Chain A
Amino acid sequence: MRRTGPFALVFHACVTIFMLAPLVIVCLVAFTPENTLSIPWRSFSLRWFNAVFEHSDLMQSFWNSLGVATVAATLAVALAVPAGIAIARHEFSGRQALNGLLLSPLIVPHLVLGVAMLRLFALLGARGSSLWLTLAHVVVITPYALRLVVAALAGLDRSAEQAALSLGASHLTVFRRITLPLMLPGITGGWMLAFINSFDEVTMSIFITSPQTVTLPVRMYMIATESIDPMMAAVSALMVAVTAVAMIVLDRLYGLDKILVGQH
Chain B
Amino acid sequence: MTSKATNTASRWTPVALSVPSLALFALMVLLPLALTALLSFQQYDQDRGVQSGFTLGSYALVLGDSYYYEIFFRTGWIAALTTLICVLVGAPEAYILSRMARPWRSIFLLVILAPLLVSVVVRAFGWSLLLGPNGVVNQVFELLGIGKAKMLYTSTAVVVALVHVMLPFMVIPVWTSLQKLDPMVENAALSLNASHWTVMRRIVLPQITPGLLSGSLIVFGLSASALAIPGLLGGRRLKMVATLIYDEYLHELNWPLGAAIAFALLVINLAIMLSYNAVLEGAYAKRMGRS
Contact = CB atoms under 8 A, between A and B. Distances in A.
23 contacts: A4-B96, A16-B108, A19-B164, A22-B130, A37-B132, A87-B18, A89-B1, A90-B1, A101-B29, A113-B32, A116-B32, A120-B32, A135-B24, A199-B119, A202-B228, A203-B226, A221-B231, A257-B110, A260-B109, A260-B114, A260-B168, A260-B172, A261-B172
A195 to B, nearest CB: 10
Contact of A240 (B96, B112, B118, B130): B118
Contacts of A220: 119, 121-122, 125
Given A23-B126, A206-B246, A239 B265 contact: no
Q: How large is the interface on B (under 10, 10 to 19, 20 to 34, 35 or more residues)?
A: 35 or more
Contacts of B161: 22
Contacts of A90: 1-2, 5, 10, 13-14, 17
Contact of A228 (B89, B128, B225): B128
Interface string B249-265: 11000010011001101
A107 interface: yes
A43 interface: no
Contacts of B130: 21-22, 25
A25 B129 contact: yes
A8 B96 CA distance: 7
B206 interface: no
Contacts of A262: 172, 176
Interface of B: 1-2, 5, 10-11, 13-18, 20-22, 24-25, 28-33, 35-36, 39, 89, 92-93, 96-97, 99-100, 106, 108-130, 132, 136, 161, 164, 167-168, 172, 175-176, 179, 183, 186-187, 190, 221-222, 224-228, 231-232, 242, 245-246, 249-250, 255, 258-259, 262-263, 265-266, 269-270, 273
Contacts of A98: 18, 21-22
Contacts, number: 270
A232 B132 CA distance: 15
A207 interface: yes
Contacts of B126: 21-23, 25-26, 236
Contacts of B28: 117, 120, 135-136, 138-139
Given A95-B14, A108-B266, A220-B125, A12 B96 contact: yes
What is the predominant secondary structure among interface residues of chain A facing chain B? helix
Contacts of B36: 112, 115-116, 119
Residue with the greatest number of chain A CB neighbours at <10 A, chosen from B30, B128, B222, B228: B228
Interface of A: 1-2, 4, 8-9, 11-12, 15-16, 18-23, 25-26, 29, 37, 39, 78-80, 82-83, 85-87, 89-92, 95, 98, 101-102, 104-105, 107-113, 115-120, 123, 135-136, 138-139, 142, 196, 199-200, 202-203, 206-207, 217, 220-221, 224-225, 228, 232-233, 236, 239-240, 243, 246-247, 251, 256-257, 260-263
A257 B106 CA distance: 7
A225 B232 contact: yes
B273 to A, nearest CB: 7
A11 B262 contact: no
Nearest to A238: B122
Contact of B99 (A1, A22, A116, A239): A1
A104 B30 CA distance: 10
A21 B154 CA distance: 20
Considering residues A25, A116, A139, A199, which has the most beta carbons from chain B within 10 angstroms of its beta carbon?
A: A116
A79 B18 CA distance: 8
A118 B250 CA distance: 10
B118 A139 contact: no
Contacts of B115: 19-20, 22-23
Contacts of A26: 122, 125-126, 129
Nearest to B190: A2
Contacts of B183: 1
A24 to B, nearest CB: 8
A104 B29 contact: yes
A110 B21 CA distance: 19
A122 to B, nearest CB: 8
Contacts of A109: 221-222, 224-225, 242, 265-266, 269
A224 B96 contact: no
Contact of B122 (A16, A240, A257): A240
A263 B106 CA distance: 13
B225 A112 contact: yes
Contact of A117 (B32, B114, B273): B32
A72 B25 CA distance: 14
Contacts of B172: 260-262
What 3 pairs between A and B have smallest CB-CB spacing?
Answer: A22-B126, A109-B225, A116-B32
